[in-house]
Amino acid sequence: MFSKACEYASKIMIYLASKRDEDKLAGLKDIAKAINSPEAYTAKILQQLVRRELLLSVRGPNGGFGIHKNKEVSLMEVVMAIDGEGIVKKCILGLEVCSENRPCPVHDKFVAVRDHLRGILSTTLITEVGDGIEESIFFLK
């Protein structure tokens, strides 16, 4: 469904959202440990999220990563940042363009699923799903 990178990215965002009330930032090692991901690869994904301004980063001692506290971020934004818009645009059978005018044989049925997914992605905020992590109601690894 999503790329591994996108899975990591989502977990990163949710993890950092769950720590949004702590005054200190989380470092790469903390994050990779919290979501059970390879450290160096996780660093690359963190970079992308920072470039896309979905995260803030600070270098040096006590540096690390954190969410922008006054900015609501949906899962859709995270997915788009890493995997692009394919998941909510591409034809399920791989036709070059997905359209009503020239539909593949399963277009109608799959548009319904895609819209369902799109709805969830765009209405789900990372802060919302971040709650419940600290309390071990939900898990990231």
Partner DNA sequence: ATAATTAAGGATAAATTTGTCCGGAATTAT
Partner DNA sequence: ATAATTCCGGACAAATTTATCCTTAATTAT
d(C-alpha 55, C-alpha 47), whole Å: 9
d(C-alpha 86, C-alpha 135), whole Å: 34
Task: Identify which range of 59-67, 101-109, 111-119, 133-141 contacts DNA by CB under 7 A.
Answer: 59-67
In the list ligand FES, its own copies, DNA, none, the entry touching 98 (Cβ below 5 to 8 angstroms by class) is ligand FES
15 binds DNA (CB under 7 A): no
In the complex, minimum distance from the CB of residue 21 to its own copies, in angstroms, rounded to a whole number: 17
State the burial class of residue 6 (Cβ atoms within 10 Å of its Cβ: 0-12, 13-18, 19+): buried
In the complex, minimum distance from the CB of residue 67 to ligand FES, in angstroms, rounded to a whole number: 21
4 sits in which H/E element: helix 4-18
43 binds DNA (CB under 7 A): yes
Q: Which of 1, 21, 23, 62 binds DNA (CB under 7 A)?
A: 62
C-alpha pair distances (Å), 42 with each of 31, 48, 57, 73, 134: 8, 10, 14, 20, 21
C-alpha pair distances (Å), 80 with each of 48, 83, 85: 12, 5, 5
In the list its own copies, DNA, ligand FES, none, the entry touching 113 (Cβ below 5 to 8 angstroms by class) is its own copies
Task: Identify which range of 59-67, 69-77, 99-107, 120-128 contacts ligand FES by CB under 6 A.
Answer: 99-107
Interface ranges with DNA (CB under 7 A): 3-5, 8, 25-29, 37-41, 43-44, 46-47, 50-51, 57-65
